[in-house]
């Protein structure tokens, strides 16, 4: 990446994007089942996404526009089809690791705000690769991250999931992380689009104590210079296959049905060809959301189930639904899901391997910022110290999260403040 100081624009010295290369070939190596709508294996190599969509019934297409709930292992699922054969999409949380549930231990990485504090995109790239590999080991397809909200309001409960307050640094980290996740054949999902910066809780979107659905009033220049750049670079240079619309309103319109954001800017101006998810419980309409750019409702069908099918029979052009489905299929094709060509799926040997543990520690160390060291008190000379006090609400525990979706519930390794210092003191 280089910066044009005269124009104020950045240019990316990259080759043809992998997604665009695949699309230019016009090839979709899909495997289909047997049935009236199926396509033979000999024909699969020349079958494109349009043909696949046209072989589906309306009911089948609608089933691909919403989630079917969650399980203890995954955050959500989009159902698959038997004929034509389309694999399901399993989605997991992932800002700090592959969140595969309480029964599967995975590597807990430092929070993205710590990663950003390294100012090192190479570490972001390595972290993305590691988390994507552990995601595949758990047989999941979609990683719900990275988060590119601006760290603007101190009490925002999602701040630790972000890359901080600077749009340039956030963009650099987002491209490195997102591109590496996609390169590992996992769908990266930048979130929360956009100006989602002052939520107090992340529980039920309708919880009376939550202000997650606040209205962000943002002028065009601020939107373009501060809030949009990380998403734009994640999409255009990181090849993100999906994107989550935020809970909040932007200039009075819910993000999940905001035509200016989802269609005019994201899809038309930026050329995004992946699919847009609602945040969990963040859909508010059927026809408006579908027409204005939302492709998949999560976590289940409140507006995009039978209501969407009825709308097609009444006022909504079926071509809108076709495009919604087409976008999800393109992203699945991109990671090899449709053809079954995804190396590492189910390979549990990569989870928590020594490279991942070492990387997590390296990020934690490099992301630690010392603001003041009066009289060179650090590092501590243990020969002159008889005791050390650790002050805080949880000095013996590792703080796994602060209110968002960043917690790895069953980490392979965690080191709390006291434990970490004790280990260090025993080595000197």
The Cα–Cα gap between 291 and 308 comes to 11
The Cα–Cα gap between 211 and 206 comes to 9
Cβ contact 115:127 at 8 Å: yes
Tokens representing 282? 């963040």
- Beta strand 89-93 with 76-78 is antiparallel
The one catalytic residue among 90, 141, 237, 279: 279
Q: How many residues are listed for the chain in this entry?
A: 428
- Spell out a b/e string for 131-159, using b for 16 or more CB atoms within 10 Å of the CB, else e: bbbbbbbbbbbbbbbbbbbbbeeeebbbb
CA angle 384-388-393, nearest 5°?
165
CA atoms within 13 A on the CB side of 250: 24
H-assigned helices in 293-416: 306-314, 318-334, 354-366
Q: How far is CA 116 from the centre of its chain?
A: 16
Q: Please, is 227 exposed, middle or buried when counting C-beta atoms within 10 Å of its C-beta (0-12, 13-18, 19+)? A: buried
The Cα–Cα gap between 385 and 404 comes to 39
CA angle 182-185-191, nearest 5°?
40
Is 279 catalytic? The answer is yes
β-sheet bridge partners, residue 250: 216, 253
Cβ contact 223:278 at 8 Å: no
Which residue numbers are catalytic?
279
């Amino acid at each position: 990446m280089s910066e044009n100081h005269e124009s104020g624009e950045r240019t990316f010295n990259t080759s043809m994007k992998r997604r665009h290369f695949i699309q230019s070939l016009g090839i979709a190596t899909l495997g289909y089942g047997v049935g009236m709508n199926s396509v033979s294996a000999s024909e699969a190599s020349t079958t494109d996404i349009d043909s696949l969509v046209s072989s589906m019934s309306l009911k089948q297409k609608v089933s691909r526009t919403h989630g079917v709930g969650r399980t203890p292992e995954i955050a959500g699922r989009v159902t698959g089809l038997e004929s034509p054969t389309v694999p399901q999409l399993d989605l997991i949380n992932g800002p700090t690791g592959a969140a595969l549930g309480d029964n599967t231990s995975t590597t807990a990485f430092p929070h993205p705000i710590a990663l950003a504090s390294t100012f090192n995109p190479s570490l972001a790239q390595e972290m993305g690769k590691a988390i994507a590999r552990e995601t595949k080991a758990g047989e999941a397809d979609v990683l719900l991250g990275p988060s590119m909200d601006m760290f603007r309001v101190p009490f925002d409960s999602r701040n630790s999931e972000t890359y901080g307050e600077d749009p340039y640094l956030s963009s650099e980290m987002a491209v490195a992380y997102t591109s590496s996740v996609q390169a590992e054949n996992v769908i990266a999902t930048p979130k929360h689009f956009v100006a989602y910066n002052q939520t107090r809780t992340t529980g039920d979107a309708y919880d009376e104590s939550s202000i997650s659905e606040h209205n962000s009033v943002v002028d065009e220049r601020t939107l373009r210079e501060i809030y949009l750049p990380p998403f734009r670079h994640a999409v255009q240079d990181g090849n993100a296959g999906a994107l989550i619309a935020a809970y909040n309103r932007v200039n009075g319109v819910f993000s999940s049905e905001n035509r200016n954001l989802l269609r005019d800017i994201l899809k038309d101006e930026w050329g995004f060809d992946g699919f847009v998810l609602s945040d969990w419980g963040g859909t508010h309409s059927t026809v408006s959301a579908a027409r204005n750019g939302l492709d998949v409702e999560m976590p289940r069908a409140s507006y995009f189930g039978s209501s969407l099918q009825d709308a097609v029979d009444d006022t909504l052009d079926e071509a809108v639904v076709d495009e919604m489905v087409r976008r999800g299929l393109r992203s699945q094709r991109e990671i090899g899901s449709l053809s079954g060509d995804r190396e590492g799926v189910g390979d549990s040997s990569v989870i928590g391997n020594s490279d991942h543990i070492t990387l997590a520690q390296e990020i934690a160390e490099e992301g630690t910022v010392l603001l003041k060291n009066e009289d060179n008190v650090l590092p501590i000379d243990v020969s002159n110290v008889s005791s050390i006090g650790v002050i805080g609400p949880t000095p013996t525990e590792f703080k796994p999260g602060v209110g968002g979706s960043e917690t790895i519930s069953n980490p392979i390794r965690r080191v709390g403040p006291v434990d970490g210092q004790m280990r260090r003191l025993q080595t000197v």
